[in-house]
A and B are shown apart, each in its own frame.
Chain A
């Protein structure tokens, strides 16, 4: 007998329209959460996982499809769901206790009961003695505890966590994860299911019974992986590492033929491939770390651990390596290509022309370089953003140009004059 369905997401799409242009944030999402589920939503930045969370909690309506809660379509904020926010979202001018009480007050609980219940909840998360403190006096971990206490105050059935540990230091995050798990497993909370958005794959595997992997452009669900590991889970255990590796593998995908991988130029039919935001020096470090493995082939997860970077950064780096033709990815493994090997064998100065030669092949770069060649005086930043905005949402267009300029400056093929706002071809030294 399967547990009753708590939440069903049916064919949900979110499309933002600005004038004649439309951008798909997420498309064709189907997801079911049953009582007793702890689901983690992972994916690269820009895959729409936060958007999906907001649709599920009823903070924003989906442009297509429906969200059913206990079989009934929601048409606004779901009163049985609550959110723990990444930045805590505490009212800075209210004390810890008032922050919890305000949630109770909104539900019409009287002053005396409000006080008792909020004090009991704060005890429960280990904040006794801090009732009259203001959030600014607390550490990040303690602030998030207030966030949890406030969320539990409204006795939700569906607890949604929006990257709840990513703004915390490593130790606080670890402690808080353990406490969350203890609370969840104790079973004496009214919470029926947990949905957690995270970009940290280890965290997802540590906590969740099911990992939903999302992909971007457009945001969609790539796979749902059941996590069979029993509790307590030990991050060092081989089964654990294998599970993390599986998620990495799903997330990193498989390198496609070049024309698919690189997409089309802006303004052309077809998908324009956005560039991932990376630290270019980190790219070299990652490639070096792959080289030091047998067959110049490594587990992405191993590489991430060796460089002590989180999975979001690791995925962005692998994506960049793929796009530049420095590495290929299949089944969670990343392997150096001959080009990639040449790149890291070169001196820092020699890497630049190599890097430049690679990025010149990417359609979005080619497009920009052609434009710049046609106008030697250079182009205005705003004008390029406007062009890019035909293929990306406004903010992302700006972001993409930022990345393009950073890469182009590194490759010494583009220069940008900030005071004039002009992008132009770099003059050969």
Chain B
């Protein structure tokens, strides 16, 4: 379990010095935001939503639609992962540009650009398609990055001798992919897919039930069903909606992800057998079935043989020395064009931002501070309960066996689906929205922390535990000299992802249209973004979005990554 938990922890590249590439990327984001905001200005200001039914009989169709969006986005993410990761890993020069881009992309809170993306898409695409597409795009952005990182890291850690063996024995490109790259990346890819699906549900629930003022971007799906049910305070519909979502998530976990995990376990690289392999009853049943075995022997194997031969003809073995990559004319042209676009975009963007008054900037800054405090508060609360609970689970094998699968399931249930319910319960209370916002942020942060604490507690070597016992470490001293330092790298890792999750939740948490009423926290960057979209204030929309993205990147660089690196260097136990 230990190893798997560590794979479950997200990938983080080593701290780089802030380079020129980073500046270019941030400027590129600014230029893109300007283009999107400009487009958004053309978008219809009033958008009618779909007619949703709360009949339970509508739910299967809604569930199907929701799953279809997830699958569509996941396929996109997989393709992106394979292509991007491969290109980044196969060439040093490309790597130097592509990895910083990915690093920054993954640290941007995806919900921050939901408003501006949705609006600009409705400006250029037919409405129905634009809504669907932006939902898929949003899910994609919540799924793709960590998968790509994992894939890239797997590719770069393939032992040189295995690579050489595959060349000496003349494996074709397809066989190399199938027999070397894919198995090598399999475990990381499956675990990250699992995480990506959890993130995907989170994003899907938001994008299905997204509406701001007169702009109703909702889509028929489970997310909008639960939201509507909560608005109408229809207990029966709420129950059905949550139940169906639960069934879908547990069903996918049992029927797809568990078997895949059990299967991927075959591709463990360490040459020793583990004591606690992942089990899945579905996988065992499939493997034990005579029908499946016969199907594999009669159909799968011959088909695979034919595919292999076909692919070998399509992509023949290359034996010659690869020619060193020279910057081609096309490459230079593309670089030049992208550079020009960025310069124009940034210039126009600055002029565009000129329309934002000083008072607005003040509000944005204040909003950032307030949201930052909320994020930190959510993180602190999450730490306060996850450390003791995580240590309890991690140091007790029996408890771990029972609670770990449960907590993993709980983590994949999207907090955003429950948000409307928080609201119903809390809106009439004084400060209820603040409380609901905190709850949502907490829900977005705590699981990452919990998993990491559990993994950290499990990773403490037995010898060290004995030593601590022999020395009679107790109470406060035990925690400060033994438990917390051992956990530190894991907590740092968890905190990076967790704070990302909390920023993300702020957009939704701070400003909500519920029924016909808008609710907003007084301050907060999330509220700023949503409010400027509602009021069609495009320069403010761009300013607030960019400010949030920039703030998150800066905090990441200055606080989390440093903490993480220190953790890696000082408190590593292996």
Contacts and interface: CB of A to CB of B under 8 A. Distances in A.
Contacts of A85: 161, 164-165
B319 A79 contact: yes
B91 to A, nearest CB: 16
A89 B175 contact: no
Contact of A92 (B172, B268, B320): B268
B168 A82 contact: yes
Contacts of B570: 419
Contact of A79 (B170, B267, B268): B170
A403 interface: no
B106 to A, nearest CB: 27
A211 interface: no
Contacts of B175: 102, 105-106
Contact of A83 (B159, B164, B321): B164
A84 to B, nearest CB: 10
A419 B161 CA distance: 34
A88 B162 CA distance: 9
A137 B270 CA distance: 11
Contact of A76 (B159, B165, B319, B569): B319
Q: In the complex, which of the residues B175, B267, B321 has the most CB atoms of chain A within 10 Å of its own CB atom?
A: B321
A274 B569 CA distance: 27
Q: In the complex, which of the residues B168, B273, B317, B319 has the most CB atoms of chain A within 10 Å of its own CB atom?
A: B168
Contacts of A154: 169
A89 B159 contact: yes
B320 A76 contact: yes
Assign chain A's interface to a size class: 35 or more
Contacts of B171: 102, 106
Interface string B380-400: 000000000000000000000
Interface stretch (A8-16, A54-62, A387-395): A54-62
B269 interface: yes
A93 B271 contact: no
A23 B386 CA distance: 52
A92 B317 CA distance: 23
A54 B305 CA distance: 31
Interface string B521-563: 0000000000000000000000000000000000000000000
Contacts of B269: 92
Given A79-B319, A85-B164, A87-B161, A102 B271 contact: no
Contact of B164 (A79, A89, A94, A105): A89
A320 interface: no
A296 B273 CA distance: 52
Assign chain B's interface to a size class: 20 to 34
A105 B308 contact: yes
Nearest to B312: A108
B165 A137 contact: no
Given A76-B320, A91-B179, A91-B180, A103 B169 contact: yes
B120 to A, nearest CB: 43
Nearest to B309: A108
Interface string A184-227: 00000000000000000000000000000000000000000000
Interface in A95-138: 102-103, 105-108, 111, 135-137
Contacts of B96: none
A60 B319 CA distance: 11
A137 B179 CA distance: 20
B183 interface: yes
B167 interface: yes
B325 interface: no
B249 to A, nearest CB: 29
A56 to B, nearest CB: 12
B471 interface: no
B470 interface: no
A240 B271 CA distance: 38
A75 B321 contact: yes
A108 B313 CA distance: 11
B323 to A, nearest CB: 10
Interface in B135-183: 159, 161-162, 164-165, 167-172, 175, 179-180, 183
Interface string B306-343: 00100010000111110000000000000000000000
B170 A107 contact: yes
16 contacts: A59-B164, A59-B168, A75-B320, A77-B170, A77-B319, A81-B168, A83-B164, A85-B164, A89-B159, A89-B164, A91-B183, A92-B267, A92-B271, A93-B183, A93-B267, A103-B169
Interface of A: 54, 57-61, 75-77, 79, 81-83, 85-89, 91-94, 102-103, 105-108, 111, 135-137, 150, 154, 418-419
The 8 closest A-B CB pairs, nearest first, are: A76-B320, A76-B319, A89-B165, A89-B161, A136-B271, A61-B321, A103-B169, A85-B161
Interface of B: 159, 161-162, 164-165, 167-172, 175, 179-180, 183, 266-273, 305, 308, 312, 317-321, 569-570
Given A82-B169, A92-B269, A111-B305, 11 more contacts: A57-B168, A59-B168, A83-B168, A85-B164, A91-B162, A93-B266, A102-B179, A106-B170, A106-B175, A106-B317, A136-B273
